[in-house]
Structure 1
């Protein structure tokens, strides 16, 4: 009798999305940061009663400076993290070469701590330790939480951050590029962008689209309102 005839459900294979890659966090953070920070910058300058040309210059300068700063920061951050992981992996590689028996016992202890009986844990550790590269991968994953050869790419992180920040920062500048002379068109575009970006991000998380969009809109609006008030205060006081 088949499994279906016995009422046993067939195995269903499924695929997971990549949650460890180096592109998603800098891309999301870059787009949000570009949109919020540059809109807030434009709002602050506009609040000081600056001319259209000054606001436009400030927005374009903020876009360029922020994009390069984000890319450089992401590259150095991810590169430093990867270099640290590679150094620790090399330490583990040396330990496996110098003390193979102790490392095999250590690996067996890891499996035992997860509920595997001692005999089975020792046998699994013995079999895994026969291949040095396989043993290194298991030790690195269990002890360091990383996989050799699958570390985040600094170039990918920097590129994602640069492009996404630039795209986000460009939205509130576009109305001024197209001839707008007041803050309202930029505010409308930025608000739509904030809500849309938050809603889009919610598609790859467990949050409802309206929650993600509203949350991002509120944070962006608060930042812009505060900087607009600062700009208006400084412009009024003549500092």
Structure 2
């Protein structure tokens, strides 16, 4: 079957409605920054490599669970709120169909459509209650009621990608190396790579995205390392 020009143009767009990309990106970045900063903080305090591994592992597990639960609750709550607003709009369409049609036509006229045409289209759409509902929801709420993100997809993406991100600064310790700066260096490479990959979904240059994320993560590591060094094992943790 030959695809229409509109369908061909549509294929060039990225899928931004699936609900997994944002929590995956946020999870990976948060996992990297959280564990790099955590390792820098306890490492700056002078704890043993074993304690660093324990701290980083605890941070990975706790953070991944927290991120997954948080994303599930957030997306589920947002979907429930949208569902409530859709139900409210459905009742308005059933009780005041003429007024709702005029409201839809007015919105199109405000965008530059001739009033006669806007009224004609609004009245035609009113003949199909489900399509009228979708159109009103899009115009008034700015969302598509049939394309809401999945809370499970958001939760699983966030959990998995946070775990991957948090694991990167721990890799050198798990492989038997005990140098803090080597672990932080590997974490920095992970930050740069993650930023560069995310930039690939946008028009931002890959190196710019990588440097931005490296800078932000580096600032977090410097802050926690300084606090850890200031307190120290002997000063308050021993």
TM range (shorter): over 0.9
Name which of 81, 100, 103 aligns with 1:103: 100
**Alpha-carbon deviation of 1:64?**
0.3
User: Which one has the bigger helix percentage?
Assistant: 2
Which residue of the partner structure matches residue 213 of structure 1? Answer: 210
Secondary structure of the residue aligned to 1:238 is helix
Alignment pair present for 1:53 and 2:66:
no
Deviation at 1:237, TM superposition (A): 5.8
Q: Deviation of residue 107 (structure 1)? A: 1.0
User: 1:166 & 1:120 partners in 2: Cα distance?
Assistant: 54
> Which one of the candidate residues 188, 193, 196 is aligned to 1:196?
193
Structure 2 residue aligned with 1:154: 151
| Counterpart contact for 2:35–2:56, Cα < 8 Å | yes
Deviations 1:135-156 (A, max 9, x none): 0000000001111121111111
TM-score by length of 2: 0.93
**Shift, 1:130, TM fit:** 0.7
Give me the whole-angstrom Cα distance separating, in 1, the residues matched to 2:126 and 2:33. Answer: 51
- Structure 1: 4+ residue segments shifted above 6 A: none
1:12-31 superposed matches below 5 A? 13-15=8-10, 16-31=13-28
Task: Determine helix, strand or coil for the equivalent of 2:9.
Answer: coil
Q: Secondary structure at the match of 2:81?
A: helix
Q: Runs of 5+ in structure 2 lacking a partner?
A: none
Q: Alignment RMSD, CA only?
A: 1.4
| 1:235 matches 2:232 | yes
TM-score, structure 1 normalization: 0.93
Q: How many residues align?
A: 230
Equivalent of 2:30 in 33, 39, 53: 33
2:90 to 89, 93, 98: 93
Which residue is 2:169 aligned to? 172
In the alignment, structure 1 segments of 5+ residues that lack a partner are 1-10
